[in-house]
Structure 1
């Protein structure tokens, strides 16, 4: 009983902490409400957590998704009021709570009460982050979090870009921060498709080979398609020009020989697998599905109706395709 039969598909691994075993200690510490263990995990991340903190920012965003972490993080901030890490992690959690209160629908579908709750959580996060950035202007994880509050509070293009530029002074190829700014540059955030695609291409071109920056190109095209309707949406990703942009981005990033599998690998391959599949470019999707196996980023694929079934179907089609 309970064992898979021969030929039965294995369940998809959608939990980031399961996809990257090295992150499991962080989840365990969060479940236990163990601030000392959480802090030790972040202190153990290779590199300078202040100025080279992309892994710090990624881990902070993942920690923010663990339920009820605000309770022990608030205590950590109270006990260590000068600690930039504690305040940044708590701010990321407040951002997550705010976005959850708002919901995923378009702005016009959000109730007044939901919008107010979201605003209140984001304001609490912003106040924490203002303090951190004033005290430690080079603390990259806090500037990354402030890109989320800038977008959520509707502070506009200029302010979002100012925050990103401050961050980029210390970490010019911070793909996690770039992804957050990209959302602000889309029309829904007050920008334009020209600005969004231009920024994605700029980041991908400037980044070292093998980085995650190429994924921004896929993210921009996925966002653009999502804003279209009907036949226009169906045809958008089938464009030869779009396909070729995506191919170049994939070859320079997650398919490049210098790419290393790190904490963002599931999101990156999931984005390319989805964008190529939606465009009917199954051969181009194949290496990304091969890399993913039974692992998939729900945060990337959940915007597709019945996404688990679609993922399985697209993966099967890609397995039969000749790149």
Structure 2
């Protein structure tokens, strides 16, 4: 039995806690809200975020120092915007070295850095190479019900990756390993942009043809940006790439799809975010990816169009027309150029 702290008691943090508890681990689920911790400990439910029974092996905490006391592993599942703040607090309270795993799918807009880079910067005693990322096609609602799910853990430290695989893997939660941490993180973050677009497409009343085109061309954009940052193009054909893209773009479970669907139905961004009541990572990631693509002159027309909808108040239908009337080109140009890139093994 391993003592594990899961930081972030939203839907995904709760679902991962259930996986760990099913594997017999001593799980400490941290939330910054006292009333939420007390409700979890007394009702064994986290009703605002996940419709699932919480096993008794999971104990909720609202004091971070108590949650991380004597743990062997920490699973970071807080929103991207809270990563630096939580890491700074960890720096002041963590007394022992624990394996650091994060399952947050996003990019920091201001710095354009991935979550593992932010953790490596803020944590005094953690090297970037030792951090583990967990990502893949995984709706929290299905994980909480023990429905078959497959994800990938990635780290440059093979020992930490193997340890993380052992922590989570079971008969309903299969875990693969990878060394392409750049591709794993970017696949998980950037697919949220395309999921917003898929939701907008459905909200506008478009059909499967439009969504298939959006997913396929969205994958090209994700791969183009990922390869420019050192990722393997093949990673985006796996679970954290096309797998996560499909599940996030095609299901009402996806909060990014739901947000996009409301935008396509005519609501404004502020209204949508207020109604959601949960973080929609795709909004911040769209801003980050748009900024990076502009600076590095990387072609990302879908991301650019979504940026215009989210931050420049452009009508979704006008953006669709803009995308459909782009200059003619050869589709295979993208794929052949990406697959010919030399990337680190």
Query: TM-score with structure 1 length normalisation?
Result: 0.33
Identify, as 1 or 2, the structure richer in strand. 2
Give the TM-score normalised by the residue count of structure 2.
0.32
